[in-house]
Structure 1
Amino acid sequence: MVLIKEREMEIPVIEFGELDGENRSKTMALLDHACDKWGFFMVDNHGIDKELMEKVKKMINSHYEEHLKEKCYQSAMVKALTEGKTSDADWESSFFISHKPTSNICEIPNNSEELR
């Protein structure tokens, strides 16, 4: 597993190109370790078209700017963080999005079909 150092934090990088070869077991073990010990990781060589990723990124950023940014800065979580306090809530719950056991993604205001 490669670790990318970003400022003072190292981020595990998983080489997904290795999942279809003789290093599959080793790569799966690295993935398990990153999930268990870090909770997140960066994926390299995942096979998703870069143009598609850029389109999705632009749509998400646009949706955030138009519909969520103001709400985010008014949230109790962000206000607490700007005051140097910590919060036990997770970011997803601050936007009232849930996916399990049922999703409310279709109920979110200003959520276009394309973004869904």
Structure 2
Amino acid sequence: MVLVKEREMEIPVIDFGELDGENRIKTMSLLDHACDKWGFFMVENHGIDKDLMEKVKEMVNSHYEEHLKEKFYQSEMVKALSEGKTSDADWESSFFIWHKPTSNICKIPNISDELM
């Protein structure tokens, strides 16, 4: 498995271009290992158009800025952290408890025709 050092952390990299060849079993094994031991991984050669990925990224960032950012910074968790206080909550719980809106069912981002 290839590991990419991203800042101070190594991240497993899975080459999806190998899924349809003679290295399928090895690639699936690497994928299983990354999921089981790491919980995440980086994907290479996934076949998704880079322009489309950038458009989706812009849409997600715009939705965050418009609907989520202000509430996130007003959360008790962020206030405590900015004051230097610590918490027993882990980062994942903090993110999902305080960042996720109570209901976002009515706040569906505008998806341009280009992404459909």
> Aligned pair 1:53/2:73, yes or no?
no
Who is 1:100 aligned against? none
CA distance in 1, matches of 2:36, 2:59: 31
Aligned residues: 107
Q: CA RMSD in A?
A: 2.2
CA distance in 2, matches of 1:38, 1:90: 20
Note the residue ranges of structure 1 that are not aligned, 5 or more in a row. Answer: 98-103
User: TM-score, length-normalised on structure 2?
Assistant: 0.78
Who is 1:91 aligned against? 95
Over the matched positions of the two proteins, sequence identity in percent amounts to 67
Whose relative contact order is higher, 1 or 2, with alpha carbons under 8 Å and at least 6 apart? 2
Give structure 1 regions of 4+ aligned residues with deviation exceeding 6 angstroms.
none
User: TM-score, length-normalised on structure 1?
Assistant: 0.78
Note the residue ranges of structure 2 that are not aligned, 5 or more in a row. Answer: none
User: What CA deviation, in whole Å up to 9, does each residue of 1:55-77 have, x standing for no partner?
Assistant: 10011111111111111112233
Who is 1:73 aligned against? 73
> Aligned pair 1:13/2:10, yes or no?
no
**1:56 partner SS:** helix
CA distance in 1, matches of 2:20, 2:80: 45
Who is 1:112 aligned against? 109
